[in-house]
Amino acid sequence: MAQSSLIGNMRTGQLTQGFTFIGILIIVALSGIALSVVGIVWHQSLQREHEKELLFIGDQYRTAILSYYESTPGGAKQYPKALEDLVLDKRFPVVKRHLRKLYADPISKQAWGLVTQQGLIIGVYSQSHQAAIKKSGFPTAYESFSEATTYDEWKFIGINS
């Protein structure tokens, strides 16, 4: 008789009510796992975009520093004293621009670190201690970046070789 009442209860749906709750918990758990994976992939994708920006902007600064140095009027070549000198080079009768504007560091969102020599700027670098994703495939001028582990080791130096 206990068996028939058990079957009767199953037909009315009274014993299956707990299974719906467990099913919803499983769906919520799987959704959470899926969202965390999507978040990780999105974060890495964003970091790779910031790396590309860092390489582009760093190269712009390196090229501008070289241009400033090479276009020094007179005999002795000179590097800039400040990054602003790359945007407004007042050493000429007409202002010369080696860089269109001062770019922000796309990784740290802070001021650029400056590589100096005798108080003059010869290069820039990101001040971020974050681990770099890109480890290979750098342009020839930046092959040394493949040995770097963090972004602050990527130095964009404008020295003629």
Is residue 122 domain-resident? yes
Residue whose tokens read 């590097």? 79
Q: Which residue has the higher pLDDT, 2 or 143?
A: 143
Residue 77 sits in which domain range?
49-157
Question: Which of the two residues, 20 and 66, has the higher pLDDT score?
Answer: 66
Is 10 among the domain residues? no
- The predicted pLDDT at position 135 comes to 92
3 has a pLDDT exceeding 60: no
User: Considering the domain boundaries, does residue 39 fall inside one?
Assistant: no
Q: Examine residue 118 and state whether it is found in any structural domain, yes or no.
A: yes
Separation CA 30–CA 67 (nearest Å): 56
Residue 6 inside a domain? The answer is no
Cβ pair 68, 86 in contact under 8 A = yes
Query: pTM value?
Result: 0.76
Give the chain's mean pLDDT.
88
User: Is residue 111 situated within a structural domain?
Assistant: yes
Taking only the tens place, the pLDDT of each residue in 37-82 is 888 888 888 999 999 999 999 999 999 999 999 998 887 899 999 9
The total domain count for the chain is: 1
